[in-house]
């Protein structure tokens, strides 16, 4: 088979990576929506507006919901 005739098929790794990227994008949109909440709503979840802004500085391909959950868990445990 000639190089020009080869077909590129996405493997499982590519599919998993795309699924994680999509999940990160969707979760990022939800985290951005949290900026519309007032301070009391965020505090009820164990978060501050600064926490939300901080996780949104992460690279776009990283899911911001996991670090945000960790911050909330630690703060609630205090």
Whole-model pTM above 0.85? no
Predicted local confidence at residue 25, as pLDDT:
94
Residues with Cβ within 8 Å of 36's Cβ and at least 6 positions away in sequence, in order, are: none
pLDDT digits (tens, 9 = 90+) for 28-67: 999 999 999 999 999 999 999 999 999 999 999 899 999 9
Contacts of range 31-40, beta carbons closer than 8 Å, 24 or more positions apart: 31/55, 31/56, 31/64, 31/65, 31/68, 32/56
Residue 3 has pLDDT above 80, yes or no: no
pLDDT digits (tens, 9 = 90+) for 17-36: 899 999 999 999 999 999 99
């Amino acid at each position: 088979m000639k190089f020009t005739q080869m077909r590129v098929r996405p493997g499982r790794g590519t599919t998993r990576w795309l699924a994680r990227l999509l999940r990160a994008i969707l979760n990022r949109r939800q985290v951005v929506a949290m900026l519309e909440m007032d301070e009391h709503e965020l505090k009820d979840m164990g978060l501050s507006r600064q926490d939300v802004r901080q996780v949104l500085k992460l690279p776009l391909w990283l899911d911001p919901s996991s670090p945000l959950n960790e911050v909330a868990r630690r703060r609630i445990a205090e």
